[in-house]
Amino acid sequence: MAVPNAVVNQRGSERLRFGHPWIRVQSDPGAIVRVSDERGRFLGSAFYSDRSQITLRFVSRADVPIDRAFFTERLRAAARYRQQVVDDTDCFRLFYGEADQIPALIVDRYGDYLSIQTLSQTADREKPLLVEILQELFAPKGIIERNDPRVRLLEGLEQKVSVLAGTVPEKIIARENGIQFQYDLFHGQKTGSFLDQRENHRAARQFASGDVLDCFCFGGGFSLTLASAATHVEGVDMSAAAIITARENQTLNGLLQVEFREANIFDLLKKYDEIDRQFDMVILDPPAFAKNRDSLPAAVRGYKEINLRAIKILKPGGYLVTCSCSHHLPEAAFLELIADAATDAKRAITIVERRTQALDHPILLTMPETYYLKCMILRILD
């Protein structure tokens, strides 16, 4: 079958030359197109959408067929990389869209099950083929599509959750860093849960001791991973559902030194500051405060407030593990607001580690959109 052609202007050609895989152009909805510049020179092959502002998502710069063999090799290459970077874990990101060179495709592994998202017209059209390949390569017991993100509406695609192959139970248990967690692939966050903090959970354990306060604890990832190194861990979240899940995960692992409770983090940090409650480690892992550029000023104020309160309730020599998953807040700005908070708290603070998302969420150097998670481990000097 003939492959549609798309022509990009000089600006689009320069954008591709500098490595960014997104360009705007016109062609047939959901097609895989051959892209050339205004002089007819081949630039690559791309997924096309007639609804999104991102009309072209480049899948290859080589002049090769984008077929079953192509997709199979890309998935195999992603799996080989995960074998190198994932250990003591059977829940992780198996495929990360543009960073693994199939745009708009997310595949997460939870033990014997796969959860996928196809977030563009072309990825969704190729979904039956991709599911077949996933079954052949990984033999999962079941594959579920978590195609309920709102971004699909921008592509003219419906939001839906359904089992695509095999069977998927309502809840499954899988390991992260040797700790057992329960996952709901039908209703949980993202494809079932957040998998990008796994290595940061482990890193925090290295510095944990004494009393630990884990704010925005969600299902207990930080709390339960570092519990063995602490005397007492207090995990707090404002979501009642999150606290129920965290307690169930605690029971799975028999970790008695952890206490989970529901509370508003801003109010709690203010209260602990007022009564001079002190901790050896405070963890801040909030949801994205900045959903878009317009919300960034308010987000910066929110991030600064919780970091200021956390710094004030840390003992000398204590550790602050502070995170931001807001793509619109760059690392430099995040560090600046933490520095401002430390200055306002009149405390000296040093950077122990500057971390990002787990290695199974690779960052494409020429695509800043793939770098979103910042995790800083800092030490209070006095």
The answer, yes or no, to whether residue 23 has pLDDT greater than 60, is no
Structural domain count, the chain = 3
Residue 160 shares a structural domain with residue 304 = no
Comparing CA positions, the residue from 280, 288, 124 lying closest to residue 212 is 280
- pLDDT for 280: 98
Note whether residue 109 is domain-resident.
yes
Residue 254 shares a structural domain with residue 355 = yes
* Owning domain of residue 11: 5-60
Comparing CA positions, the residue from 355, 300, 301, 292 lying closest to residue 328 is 292
Handedness of CA 260, 200, 326, 322 (dihedral sign): positive
Which stretch of 17-31, 298-312, 329-343 has the lowest confidence by average pLDDT? 17-31
- pLDDT, one tens digit per residue, over 164-218 is 999 999 999 999 999 999 999 999 999 999 999 999 999 999 999 999 999 999 9
Query: How crowded is residue 370: how many other Cβ atoms within 10 Å of its Cβ?
Result: 19
For residues 33 and 46, give the distance between their C-alpha atoms in angstroms, rounded to a whole number.
Answer: 5
Mean pLDDT of the chain: 93
CATH of the domain at 146: 3.30.750.80
Pick from 55-64, 229-238, 327-336 the range whose average pLDDT is largest. Answer: 229-238
pLDDT band at 51 (very low <50, low <70, confident <90, very high): confident
- pLDDT for 292: 83
- pLDDT for 52: 86
The answer, yes or no, to whether residue 150 has pLDDT greater than 80, is yes
Residue 202 shares a structural domain with residue 246 = yes
Residue 291 shares a structural domain with residue 213 = yes
Residue 293 shares a structural domain with residue 374 = yes
Give whole-number Cα distances, 270 to 18, 123, 265, 273, 276, in Å: 46, 46, 8, 5, 10
Residue 224 shares a structural domain with residue 131 = no
Give me the amino acid identity at 321: V
The answer, yes or no, to whether residue 100 has pLDDT greater than 80, is yes
Burial 86-109 (b: 16+ CB within 10 A, else e): beebebbbbbbbbbbbbbbbbbbb
Residue 49 shares a structural domain with residue 73 = no
pLDDT band at 295 (very low <50, low <70, confident <90, very high): confident
Note whether residue 189 is domain-resident.
no
Residue 338 shares a structural domain with residue 269 = yes
Helix (H, G, I), strand (E, B) or coil at 189: strand
Check residue 182 and report its DSSP letter. E
Residues identified as active-site: 325
CATH of the domain at 331: 3.40.50.150
Comparing CA positions, the residue from 377, 378, 372, 369 lying closest to residue 98 is 369
3-state helix, strand, coil in the chain (%, to 5): 35, 30, 35
Two tokens, residue 63: 């002049």
Is the pTM above the cut of 0.85?
Answer: yes
Query: How crowded is residue 249: how many other Cβ atoms within 10 Å of its Cβ?
Result: 25
- pLDDT for 2: 44
For residues 80 and 257, give the distance between their C-alpha atoms in angstroms, rounded to a whole number.
Answer: 38
For residues 377 and 373, give the distance between their C-alpha atoms in angstroms, rounded to a whole number.
Answer: 13
Mean per-residue pLDDT for 14-21? 57
Helix (H, G, I), strand (E, B) or coil at 118: strand
Task: Report helix angle 296-312 to 331-344, nearest 10.
Answer: 40
- pLDDT for 53: 84
Residue 346 shares a structural domain with residue 203 = yes
Which stretch of 79-88, 152-161, 291-300 has the lowest confidence by average pLDDT? 291-300
Q: What percent of the chain has pLDDT over 70?
A: 92
Give me the amino acid identity at 243: I
* C-beta of residue 7 within 8 angstroms of C-beta of residue 41: no
Residue 227 shares a structural domain with residue 313 = yes
Which stretch of 230-239, 292-301, 356-365 has the lowest confidence by average pLDDT? 292-301
- pLDDT for 1: 44
The answer, yes or no, to whether residue 21 has pLDDT greater than 80, is no
Mean per-residue pLDDT for 46-55? 88
- pLDDT for 187: 96
